[in-house]
Amino acid sequence: MSVQKQFLTINDIKKGLLEKRFSALEVTKNYLKRIKEKDEEINAFLVRTEELALSQAKEIDKLVSEGKKLPVLAGAPCAVKDIILIKDIKCTAGSKILENYIAPYDATVIKKLKDSGAVILGKTNLDEFGMGSSTENSAFKITKNPHDLSRVPGGSSGGSAAAVAADECCYALGSDTGGSIRLPASFCGVVGFKPTYGAVSRYGLIAFASSLDQVGPLAKSVEDAKIIFDVISGKDKMDSTSAEVKWPKSDYSLKNLKIGVPKEYFIKGIDPEVKKIIKETIKKAEEQGAKIEEISLPYTEYALAAFYIIAPSEASANLARYDGIKYGLSENEKGGILDVYLGTRSKGLGQEVKRRIMLGTYSLSSGYYDAYYLKAQEIRNLIKEDFEKAFDKIDLIFTPVSPTTAFKIGEKTEDPLSMYLSDVFTVTANLAGLPAVSLPCGKIDNLPVGIQIIGKPFFDYQLLQAASFIEKLSL
């Protein structure tokens, strides 16, 4: 028996195991071999958990041999962004300050994956503490886009997206603070889903901005994304922001679906070819019976500015714990406690993280709190109201994910503002706490283009159902 087909989905693997066409151990070894062959040029992985993966695969094969019911993710090898804790495995958050940190417990999402039969192949590269749009801000390596090795995979979950796109895993987990799942999904041509804030526990996710962060899947299909979401979603007593949800029962079909297309998302500066592909996809939906309506989300133009005040402000508070005292790197060259703080943070944190800590600390400081942070929170509320008014009339919102396709490595590293603009279409969903998905809808010169679908709060399943219709139109 052998694993012939590449790009296996979760159901492909489960069906193959039940039909005994291959074993979970064979599948796992096949992926581990592919990582060894491919990852030297892609740099998707920071840590490989070969021993853990093989032991998990053997457990699944034992269930098969005993004729027991297989869990939903049985034998499906995955990768995990290295900002999510896996017990007894290194978790760096892409930072030198946590280079040798070993996680003491499983994040809730990892516990749920393990209970559902997942096989964990390793931890993937990211922008340090999730701060970036290209995965060039990692302290350890630069991940490359499998479609063009001279280009970025997007960020900050670039390692997870690249691993899925290169078929180095069946699916992956990422985290999304302002587009960090959706942007790399778009750049790498995979499905990336950011659930409604609170739908998935953040316990065991190293915090960047606590009111914005959300764990979600990167997968080869919308169906796989839904399967993973089924597993990882739900109320968690360890996370007070997680929600007890009675998922709405209403179904979507393309016929008579009301789709809003906000004019603010087709601004000057968007690549004309990207705009053309998005518009063509929306047209296909209209031809299948969807009703298309141009809408306005007027506070969108302030979203990026508000995000880059709120997120760094929360980061400056969350990252205060990395002080060289409790865990992680500790530098003590002169002996005083202030020297420990300054030495540790100076040596252990990268330039982008330092930049955001300073921005956040400034925004929260006396005399500037009202002028910056408070104003940003007021804008955030207005953005939420924009969406609420829009969803009174429509079911879903369709937008681009990014103004461009994947850009060249090094192209934007010297211009932080240019890099921040990569998030211009994605930050609004985080600010409003809405579910949003990126799925491939075309290519420009072999570089993938993603369309973003944004839904109402906790209408995650309806959103994924609609995304599966659009996925079929784009095939």
Candidate list 14, 81, 114, 226, residue with the active-site label = 81
Respond yes or no: is residue 156 known to be catalytic: yes
Candidate list 156, 175, 242, 313, residue with the active-site label = 156
With vertex at residue 260, the alpha carbon angle to CA 256 and CA 261, rounded to the nearest 5 degrees, is 130
Report d(CA 401, CA 422) in Å as an integer. Answer: 9
Candidate list 116, 180, 233, 242, residue with the active-site label = 180
SS3 121: strand
Report d(CA 356, CA 318) in Å as an integer. Answer: 12
SS3 386: helix
Nearest to 394 by CA among 464, 267, 297: 297
Report d(CA 99, CA 277) in Å as an integer. Answer: 42
Residues forming a β-bridge with 78? 120, 171
Torsion over CA of 2, 225, 265 and 434, rounded to 10 degrees?
A: -160
Please provide residue 412's backbone torsions phi and psi, each rounded to the nearest 5 degrees. Answer: -120, 5
Report d(CA 70, CA 62) in Å as an integer. Answer: 10
Report d(CA 425, CA 47) in Å as an integer. Answer: 31
* Count of residues in the chain: 475
Respond yes or no: is residue 418 known to be catalytic: no
Neighbour count for residue 301 (Cβ, 10 Å): 12
SS3 214: strand
Q: Is 286 exposed, middle or buried (0-12, 13-18, 19+ CB in 10 A)?
A: middle
Respond yes or no: is residue 330 known to be catalytic: no
Catalytic residues: 81, 156, 180
